Amino acid sequence: MLVTKTFHDIQTQLDSGGRALRIFVISPSISKYPQAKFPGVVVFSEIYQVTGPVERFASQIASQGFVVACPSVYHEFEGPEAIPYDVEGTDRGNKYKIEKTVAAFDEDAKLSINLLSTLPNCNGRIGATGMCLGGHLAFRAAFDQRVLASVCFFATDVHSATLGKGKSDDTLIRVRNGDLTGKGELVMIFGKQDTHVPRTGRDLIRTTLDDANVTVSFLEVQAQHAFIRDESSKGRWDAALTRSLFSFMMEVFDRTIGVDLGPLVDDTKPLEHVC
């Protein structure tokens, strides 16, 4: 499917500076179906905000028939522009990650889900995905009962509970308390060579989810951290594996959140061809 791109600036309550959260929206477009409705997916980015690789990943999801919302996670500190994939950018993104409160991360997720739920081309059935920091945020988004499936790529800081200001998040505590039990489907994907999430950390996450009777698929593959990033991956990008796991993710979303095309409109106007 073809896709269109726009953005919405939304005021938050927890940002004392009054800066708006920018949410980029990428939507599928089907000729002659102007009232088509699609499920929604929130795509949470790495520590670099919505970069080219994140936008391309989100656009591929949208082209499969999903309205995609990509929040700029560091609006409290700077504009919505992508942070460079360099040493300074990495240091900046990691610094913001532990200066922003977990409550503020959660508010951004809630506002992104709220936005999708109110868009005229979204049917209100919501999923979430993300990578690195975004994998953790997609995990936390699953606590929202409106999120029916979350696919988390190499989620950082879950095992160590070090997300947010004070480096003391409650993600696994909430899992143990039953906050994911009986809710949507969760998929956790990790590279076995990922130095950010060692084997002991992956084992802790898997055991905690299983002990809480969460509906989860736990995949460990032969890959390093950031293996789905097609730019500045420092030699870690695995295109074939990314394609395979993208298909796995789409099967989960197709099965859990569905699509509604609405009525057919017979538009007899000739299509404009743009080269």
CA 75 vs CA 100, 106, 188, 240: distances in Å:
10, 14, 27, 34
Residues 37 and 123: beta-carbon distance below 8 Å: yes
Q: Is the dihedral of CA 28, 80, 188, 199 positive or negative?
A: positive
What is the per-residue pLDDT for 227? 96
Distance CA 58, CA 72 (A): 13
Which token pair is 172? 């696994």
Backbone φ, ψ for residue 65 (5° rounding)? 105, 45
Distance CA 53, CA 40 (A): 20
Write down the pTM of the prediction.
0.93
For tokens 């993104």, what's the residue? 93
Which token pair is 174? 């909430």
Residues 205 and 135: beta-carbon distance below 8 Å: no
Residues in a beta bridge with 25: 6, 69
For tokens 């919501």, what's the residue? 126
Amino acid at 81: E
Hey, how many other C-beta atoms are within 10 angstroms of the C-beta on 229?
A: 24
Q: Digits of tens for pLDDT over the chain (275 positions)?
A: 999 999 999 999 988 777 899 999 999 999 999 999 999 999 999 999 999 999 999 999 999 999 999 999 999 999 999 999 999 999 999 999 999 999 999 999 999 999 999 999 999 999 999 999 999 999 999 999 999 999 999 999 999 999 999 999 999 999 999 999 999 999 999 999 999 999 999 999 999 999 999 999 999 999 999 999 999 888 999 999 999 999 999 999 999 998 666 676 765 566 565 55
Determine the distance from the C-alpha atom of residue 275 to the mean position of all C-alpha atoms in its chain, rounded to a whole number.
32
What is the per-residue pLDDT for 102? 98
Distance CA 82, CA 74 (A): 10
What is the per-residue pLDDT for 18? 78
* Residues with a known catalytic role: 132, 194, 225
Residues in the chain: 275
What is the per-residue pLDDT for 265? 76
Residue from 60, 56, 41, 23 nearest 151 by CA: 41
4 three-state secondary structure: strand
Which token pair is 251? 């099967």
Residues 24 and 55: beta-carbon distance below 8 Å: yes
